Chain A
């Protein structure tokens, strides 16, 4: 009797799991679009953390029938994926690295999508007295001089790349200094670290605005032309990697610079944060931005 019951329980258990697996396979199969329907979009964390892509991608998918797999990583990693042909299209904000990426023949058709700006945020007490400074390089010099804590992304992202050029401009070798700490995390988490440790950090305005309520960090330096944050869309070179979904990549890039999308970008976040998070720039020239 005992044997009979125990095997029955095991049998029931196995049947249950088996049915679960079957159900799972079915659901996945239904959702799995044909091969060329999948587009891998490698992008920065800021486009996901602000919620912009959650607004745009469903519209694109509905319109075109493509399925977008958004992989939100830093710009550096996104381009590394493109470099290996592991992504179809990139939405990134690290202009110098992008130019290198293009010159190596990894991408085609790099187009300007939008911009916002970087800001330097820090605690209200502002130990380095940088509030209101017009030059970001001056601000960094003051921070270094005051030995005030600066929290860096340290992850090769677009923001980190921008930060490095700013340190270079200020002629300060911050890396290895006691007051300079690298998190290796995304923007949202880095802002939280800075808030917790009462440090300064460089952030894109979009992520800052969407996290502001929990932070207790203030905008201290803004408006410097060097702080422009520019997003481009790049299609990965399909001649180099034949597995790239070339049509899908083009469709997505076209969508990002289309008039309708640009209008959505223009008003995105206005209702929630009182000001737009991004400024649409399709068709413009980089030199004319922020003027």
Chain B
């Protein structure tokens, strides 16, 4: 218990003093996970919408696969990404193992099915007649899709939050493909693992608290956007 109090005090110390290393780690976490979420947003929402709006044989199977992907284990993603991009691997010429880029790729792979699954469900959840209505009012197909996406922005923002929450808190893939290199690919979660290993529990707790704080602030912002839409 005493340790937790120490950790909380340490977190405040680090935050108030703007400790350059901790600030760097926090900022890097935000950049990597933010970029990964953004990429997953493009792929996830577009693919999710297409799957939701088209009918094809095996659609249920595809949806089951996407839903399974929502629970993709980060370490497994990390392992496969590592094997693909290491020097002598098929994508070794990119030379990106143990870089922030590799972390963005791994995290985007983790977040994409989450965003995809939720957007798919969101679009499917719209009243079926809405499509016909929009089309009968003279909208083109593309316009219809855009309106449908906008109609489901509430769950879509939830998808963003779920995707971001999944990757900012993820450690298995980040440590494998990023390597936890000081000042370069060390993020809040991997630093927490390392400080725990070093026995610096107060610093580890402090980093954990900063991570929660960061996740809270991002979600607060997204929730603001989401709920403002809803009020009118």
Tell me whether A and B are bound partners: yes
Q: Give chain A's interface residues, CB within 8 Å of chain B.
A: 2-3, 6-7, 9-10, 13, 17-18, 20-21, 23-24, 27-28, 31-32, 35, 38, 40, 45, 48-49, 51, 54, 57, 67, 69-72, 84-86, 185-189, 191-192, 210-211, 213-215, 241, 243
| A-B residue pairs in contact (CB < 8 Å), sample of 10 | A9-B228, A20-B38, A31-B184, A40-B98, A48-B194, A69-B181, A70-B182, A71-B179, A192-B199, A215-B199
Whole-angstrom distance between the alpha carbons of A28 and B96 in the complex? 11
Are A211 and B228 in contact (CB-based, < 8 A)? no
Interface string of B45-80 (1 = CB under 8 A from A): 000000000000000000000000000000000000
The answer to whether B38 touches A45 (Cβ under 8 A) is: no
Interfacial residues of chain B within 71-103, with CB under 8 A of chain A in the complex? 86-88, 92, 95, 97-101
Q: How many A-B residue pairs have CB under 8 A?
A: 90
Q: Which residues of A contact B180 (CB under 8 A)?
A: 72
Write the nearest CB–CB distance from B19 to chain A, whole angstroms: 15
Contact of B38 among A2, A21, A57, A71 (CB under 8 A): A21
Is the beta-carbon distance between A35 and B95 smaller than 8 angstroms?
A: yes
Q: For the complex, what is the distance from the CA of A71 to the CA of B101, rounded to whole Å?
A: 17
Q: Is the CB of A3 within 8 A of B150?
A: yes
**Shortest beta-carbon distance from A280 to chain B in Å:** 23
Task: Determine chain B's interface SS by DSSP, over half rule.
Answer: helix
B133 within 8 A of A: no
B232 CB contacts on chain A under 8 angstroms? 2
Asked if residues A20 and B196 are in contact (CB atoms below 8 Å), the reply is: no
Q: Which B residues contact A (CB, under 8 angstroms)?
A: 31-32, 34-35, 38, 86-88, 92, 95, 97-101, 150, 153, 179-182, 184, 194, 196-199, 201, 225, 228-229, 232
Select from chain A the residue with minimum beta-carbon distance to B93: A243
- Inter-chain CA distance A261–B100, complex, in Å, is 30
Taking the closest CB of chain B, its distance from the CB of A185, in whole angstroms, is: 8
Are the C-beta atoms of B92 and A243 separated by less than 8 Å?
Answer: yes
B228, A28: Cβ atoms closer than 8 Å: no
- Determine the residue in chain A with the shortest Cβ distance to B30: A20
| B residues in contact with A185, CB < 8 Å | 197
**Which of B98, B184, B198, B225 has the largest count of A CB atoms less than 10 A from its CB?**
B198
Given known contacts A85-B87, A241-B88, A188 and B150 CB-to-CB distance under 8 angstroms: no
A31 proximity list for chain B (CB < 8 A): 184
Q: How far is the CA of A211 from the CA of B95 in the complex (A)?
A: 36
- The answer to whether A214 and B38 have CB atoms under 8 Å apart is no
Given known contacts A7-B150, A21-B35, A28-B99, A211 and B199 CB-to-CB distance under 8 angstroms: yes
A171 → chain B closest CB, angstroms: 33
- Whether the Cβ atoms of A23 and B31 lie closer than 8 Å is yes
Once the chains bind, are A49 and B34 in contact (CB under 8 Å)?
A: no
